[in-house]
Amino acid sequence: MYRAGHYPEYKKKLMWAAVPLALAACTSQSTMKSYQEIQLTKDPSGHCINSTEVFSPDDKWIVYDSRSVDSGIGAAGEVAMVNTGTGEIRTLYKTENQTEFGPGLGAVTFSPAGDRVLFIHGIRNANEENPYAMTRRTGVAVDINNPMKPIFLDARSMNPPFVKGALRGGTHAHTWSSDGWISYTYNDYLIEQTAKKGSAAQDLRTIGIMVPGRSVSVPDDGSLENNDGEMFSVIVAEVKDNPKPGSDEVDKAFDECWIGANGYVKSDGTRQKHAIAYQGNVRDEAGNTKTEIFVVDIPDDLLDKIDDLEISPDPGVRLPVPKALVSRRITRLERGVSNKPRHWLRSSSDGEKIGFLAADEKGVIQFHVVSPNGGDVRKVTNNEFSVKGPFNFSRDGKRVAYIGDNSVFVTDVETGRTERISQKYPGDSAPTGAVVWSYDGKTLAFNRHIKGEDGENYLQIFLLKEH
């Protein structure tokens, strides 16, 4: 549907802010490519794109939520998509009874396999006493040809005996594999609540996946706390309250990625189709926290290997990790992976490289890569400025895009050659968040704050198109 009061005029005049760009490279006087900048959205609303997977498979649409600030999921109540050619906006889903306390929507991703989008949805009974929170959210999908009808993907089971394949807390930052599996970060509501009463176990963030092929049914107690799920949920990374110094134990697993469009080739030459790389907080020999990278290989027949999965009826005991899933550490970095800026690991589509951010000897945050098999870490960028947010590989894996120095940059992954492909913006209107590639590699999408006629700042979506 067209946005009332905006798109009729918009269709009369496609008044995009189109600025041809042929900017000097950081390392060369000639540019790799030239780009045209287009302001795609202009209406007085938030248009927050996720850190990855925002383009439809045919590149005709970009999905977003209605936030204008990153921390505003609880108060955001709409998911929509905008046409990359015409600027048409279609609302896909709205929450019922939305208030500043929830339910809340955010972090929308487009399935690479079809016409479905997935987003965070706060628990439906959210109110001032029980607002949207890390432990009170779930993954909900909508088919774009059947909008406004939510499809709950991860089941939620809050009463013992707990249902196998269901969760007890909040999923976040959902990411699709190329064949429709989903990864997420997870925080457990029941562990959080029992910890407040003196339980030894604390709510530690971890990683999970949703596997298609087995739906999960949960008894309805009328509270809106429980829900069925179309997919089977499993925790894949073990976390411990007090990791041993110098060990590979972690007390936080987070900000993961699927490895490769079709997995990766292991050291023995075999192909591992499904695998997750994630960041894990370990303790060094002196007991200091440091972030390293871990990989967990996931059997294709995982659903056949979880029949012996035992879930304790005790709400103070964490959900178990299947025995078939064993994590291995692939980095041992002197300074560790950088947690500022926050970023998600990303993999090249061939599965050969996992990208991450880490500080160099001068404290500048640079882009690095490492093989999922471990081995040497390679610093790719050598910028004088820090990378300021999440990054993404192009589909062919040859380039990486990110924000820095109030601009959008692209770096050649093999040579390290870096290009500033946007203008340098004033600080209050600088790009923010992630830069996301289209499937054909010819367009990049990003967010900037723009002041509306009402004086408020709104996140708007901008494109950089090759020409």
Q: How far apart are CA 277 and CA 352, in angstroms?
A: 12
Q: Which range among 294-303, 305-314, 440-449 shows the weakest confidence by mean pLDDT?
A: 305-314
Determine which helix (DSSP H) or strand (DSSP E) holds 189, and give its type and residue range.
Answer: helix 189-196
Q: Which range among 17-21, 51-55, 84-88, 345-349 shows the weakest confidence by mean pLDDT?
A: 17-21
Residue 414 in domain: yes
pLDDT, one tens digit per residue, over 136-169 is 999 999 999 999 999 999 999 999 999 999 999 9
Secondary structure E strands in 18-84? 19-21, 35-39, 61-65, 78-83
- The answer to whether residue 66 scores a pLDDT higher than 50 is yes
End-to-end Cα separation, the chain, in angstroms: 30
pLDDT, one tens digit per residue, over 176-203 is 999 999 999 999 999 999 999 999 899 9
- The answer to whether residue 6 scores a pLDDT higher than 60 is no
Residue 234 in domain: no
Contact 349/261 with Cβ under 8 angstroms? yes
Residue 28 in domain: yes
**Which tokens is 31 given?**
């540019």
For all residues of the chain together, what is the average pLDDT?
A: 92
- The answer to whether residue 7 scores a pLDDT higher than 50 is no
Residue 280 in domain: no
What's the domain range around 412? Answer: 18-44+380-467
**Mean pLDDT computed over 231-249:** 98
pLDDT, one tens digit per residue, over 422-434 is 999 998 899 999 9
Contact 435/394 with Cβ under 8 angstroms? no
Residue 243 in domain: no
Q: How far apart are CA 238 and CA 319, in angstroms?
A: 9
Tally the domains of the chain. Answer: 1
pLDDT band (50, 70, 90) for residue 32: low
- The answer to whether residue 15 scores a pLDDT higher than 90 is no
pLDDT at 33: 75
**Mean pLDDT computed over 31-52:** 91
pLDDT at 228: 98
pLDDT at 410: 98
**Which tokens is 292 given?**
């390293």
**pTM, entire model:** 0.93
Residue 66 in domain: no
Residue 406 in domain: yes
Residue 79 in domain: no
pLDDT band (50, 70, 90) for residue 404: very high
